[in-house]
Copies of this chain bind each other. A is one copy, B any other.
Amino acid sequence: MSRNFLNDQTIDKLHDKCAVCGVYGVEEAAKLVYLCLFALQHRGQEGSGIASYDGKNIIFDKGQGLVNEIFKTENLERLKGTLAIGHNRYSTIGESHLKNVQPIVADINLGQIALSHNGNLVNGYELKRELVEKGAIFTSTADSEVLIHLMAHEGGKRHPLKEAIINAIGQLRGAFTIVLMTKDELIGIRDVYGFRPLVLGSLKNGFVLASETVALDLIDAKFIREISPGELIIIGKNGIESIFPFEREEPKFCVFEYIYFARPDSFIFNNFVYDVRKLFGKKLAYQDEVEADIVIPVPDSGIIAALGYAEASGIPMEMGIIRNHYIGRTFIEPTNAIRHFGVKLKLNAIKSIIKDKSIIVVDDSIVRGTTSRKIVKMLKNTGAKKVHMRISSPPVMFPCLYGIDTPNRKELIAATHSIEEIRKYLGADTLEYLKLENLFSCVNSKQFCEACFTGKYPIL
């Protein structure tokens, strides 16, 4: 039987729903967008799309799979022009996929526009219902389509583009980082809480917007600054216009970008992810003392925190679990199932490191606990004397409403089990999560959302 292990629940992580980017004012803009999407592949592997203005129309191409599987030379050659935007989409199972791959390209009363969206609208369903009642038609289930409808509703004779956008955005509640293009402008928008990141870079005479700075790095773009929460930035032939049309709020950055989503080499929310992530590991080490021979990370998610943990604890780090990076989308499993098959396709423990050792295993988070449990078993089978599980984030107890793909509350193991119960389920000798106060001692606590840990949702 063939199974989809990329999406397998056994590899249980939270997942960011998307990456967005746009390039303005440079030849072969679509090729640069393509490279940005490649650099942002970790934010979405279901499908990708690129739209560009070819001098006559906004045209686009999109497909399912990884960026470099979807786009071939001939696709990119067709996407001519100096203005383009792109989107990576995170994989969700069992839906009619292609219709939801962005950017959405539409003809509206403001002309042709294309739009990429990262985040989740809290009032998306409500807005859609109202629009549908007024006679709107929806051909996808993406929040992005709601936004285009709102813009169309506000636009035309009523308002020119900027006002239409502002009026449309003003009706949205939730998390949205948007990259939008008309035939001659590249526009970036971040909601007033700034849940999801968006950065600005410069490139020769042009500009780049992207979810993370790693996209700038790959295409030799110079990092200028992050787009601010509540900022609307319009890049056109008169340069950059930046406005803040909405009432300011205290930011609510997503702390999980630091914990897991963002690439460690990205700079977002005013810090390098690497530095914050390593600090989480250190704080975790200071939290309690445990006697152990070695610290090992769950690769790759736990590596940076494990480095911090090892440094703070003085216990040496070893790469006791090796990851196979050739893993593809689906795998064929023999009928007589192999123990811990899903985990073993990705991870393997090294006997000479593990055997007879007391081990501190560092991972970034536990969602359902199924994978962590298999890892603990694998280590015990490999001869570990003790397995001390250390998690560089607090227990995830509440689903995210702002663009992170979280399972139902009842599937979140920490929502229904005490830490001691989780420890037993995992089969670990000890289990310790990073305490919320310690997490927030590493960053400006007021500026981060804590909803997934405490249920304090900043917006409902």
Contacts and interface: CB of A to CB of B under 8 A. Distances in A.
Interface of A: 1-2, 27-28, 31-32, 34-35, 38-39, 41-42, 45, 59-61, 66-69, 71-73, 76, 96, 98-99, 104-109, 128, 132-139, 145, 148-149, 152-157, 214, 217-220, 263-265, 267, 272, 274-275, 300, 303-304, 307, 311, 316-319, 322, 324-336, 338-339, 344-345, 348-353
Contacts of A303: 319
A100 to B, nearest CB: 12
B156 A72 contact: no
Contact of A338 (B59, B220, B338): B220
B132 A109 contact: yes
Given A107-B139, A264-B319, 5 more contacts: A31-B332, A107-B128, A135-B136, A267-B351, A307-B318
Contact of A334 (B35, B41, B133, B157): B35
A397 to B, nearest CB: 30
Contacts of A67: 326
A8 to B, nearest CB: 14
Given A2-B72, A156-B132, A319-B304, A139 B105 contact: yes
A76 B332 contact: yes
A66 B326 contact: yes
A150 to B, nearest CB: 9
A393 to B, nearest CB: 19
B322 A325 contact: no
A275 B135 contact: no
State the majority secondary structure of interface residues on A. Answer: mixed
B149 A137 contact: yes
A348 B218 contact: yes
A338 B272 contact: no
Given A109-B135, A336-B27, A38 B345 contact: yes
A110 to B, nearest CB: 9
A92 to B, nearest CB: 14
A349 B213 CA distance: 12
Nearest to A153: B135
Given A139-B104, A139-B139, A326-B66, A133 B149 contact: no
27 contacts: A31-B332, A38-B324, A39-B348, A41-B326, A68-B331, A69-B328, A76-B332, A98-B98, A106-B139, A108-B132, A132-B156, A135-B149, A135-B152, A135-B154, A136-B152, A137-B145, A137-B148, A137-B152, A218-B344, A264-B322, A265-B322, A272-B350, A272-B351, A272-B352, A274-B350, A311-B316, A317-B317
A1 B42 contact: no
